[in-house]
Structure formats: C-alpha cells, structure tokens
A = this chain, B = another copy of it.
Amino acid sequence: MSESAVSTLIDRLHDEAAQDRPAAETPDVGIVMGSDSDLETMLSGGRRRGAYDAFVDELGFAEQTSFENSPAERFTFETYVTSAHRTPDLMAAYAETAEDRGIEVIIAGAGGKSADLPNMTASIAYPLPVIGVPVQEKSVDSVIGMPTGAPLVAVDAGKSFNAALSAAQILARQHDAVRERLVAYHDDLREAVGGVSRDLHDLGTEAFAAARDE
C-alpha cells in the first residue's frame, strides 16, 4: 500500500495525457523541481525574483492547479516536484506525458552537484524544449553539460525568472500576445534604468545615495 501518493500522481499524469483537450485549456509551461526546498529559487520569494514572479506579475500568465479546470487567462503554467533520485518513476512519467498533456516548454530546476532532473527530463521529454535551471552555483556544470545529441538549454544559477522569460520567448514565436507582454515588460525595465542613470548623474553620488536610502 506504500507509495500511493507517487503511484496516484503517475496514473493521473497518464490519464491526462490520454485526454484530447484544446491547447488553450492545457498548461503551456510545465515547471518541475527536485524538491520543495527549491521553491524559493524556482518560483518566488527568495533573494531574487523567480519564475512565478515573471509569469504572474510581469507576463500575465496564471498558474493552472487543475488539469480539468483551466484559468481564465490564456497562458498558464503548472508546477510539480519530481525528484530524480527519490522518485525517478514520477519524473519519467511527467516527462513522457508532457507533450501529450499540452505542454509546449518545460522549465526544470534542481540543486546540488548531481542536478540530474533537468537533464533526465530533457532526455525523456524530447523533442519538447527543456530549459534547465541550476538551483545553486554548484549545479551549473551538471545541468549544462549534456552530451552531443541530447539537447537542453540552461540559464544561470538561480535565475528561474529568466527561464520564464525564455519560455515566453519560445511561446512568442507563435503567440503575438506573449510577444507584446515581453516587450512591455522590457520597456518598463529600460525606463527604470534610464531614470536611475539620470538621477545618479544629475544629483551626484552623495545626494543620490541619500535620496535612495531615505
């Protein structure tokens, strides 16, 4: 009777893959991570903003928590923990079913020196594009070092925010609405840099620092 949670999930994923839902109702992006201790880095709330912040706050995506009931927003993502070393069967089931479940691109993050989850997910989900996120600096080598013939693209350590932008860039090749959101986000970012640059120069270092620290 043990492992009911893992088995139930595996069965559910295969059931969902067998359904024939329209693309607009399935999650566009699948986010998987090796452990819920990766949550802050992969999604939101750590020192740096994460994929959740990028999707929800900047790009207007919604998180889909039920395969059956999709949110009102057109573009969505879903999140799972699929540990490569503790639940390799769940990881494999997720990767095998991803394309049939409507996923267009996977963001896969893992920490530690043996960050196998992005690599194995990319190998099994092929030919779906997988963006690997090394959760720690020491995970970079393991994530990026795929052999010839086994494609995976990686972002820098801890930068799931950028992985979300990259996933949106892929979706934007087909969906102008996503492209527009990416451009709008970028314009805001540039405007902010411009303002800071002008203030620093025109106020001078001391006054700028004083104003900022108020």
Residues of A within 8 A of B (CB): 2-9, 34-36, 39, 43-45, 48-49, 52, 63, 65-66, 78-88, 90, 92, 104-105, 112-116, 119-120, 122-124, 126-129, 131, 138, 140-156, 159, 161-163, 165-166, 168-174, 179, 182-183, 186-191, 193-198, 200-206, 208-209, 212
Contact = CB atoms under 8 A, between A and B. Distances in A.
Contacts of A48: 148
A131 to B, nearest CB: 6
B116 A149 contact: no
A154 B163 CA distance: 11
Contacts of A196: 36, 81
Given A39-B208, A87-B194, 18 more contacts: A3-B191, A4-B191, A4-B194, A5-B191, A6-B191, A34-B147, A36-B196, A39-B205, A45-B209, A80-B200, A84-B116, A85-B150, A105-B173, A114-B143, A138-B141, A142-B142, A151-B163, A170-B170
What's the dominant secondary structure at chain A's contact region?
Answer: helix
A197 B151 contact: no
13 contacts: A6-B194, A35-B147, A39-B200, A39-B205, A65-B201, A81-B196, A85-B119, A86-B147, A129-B173, A131-B153, A148-B159, A153-B155, A170-B173
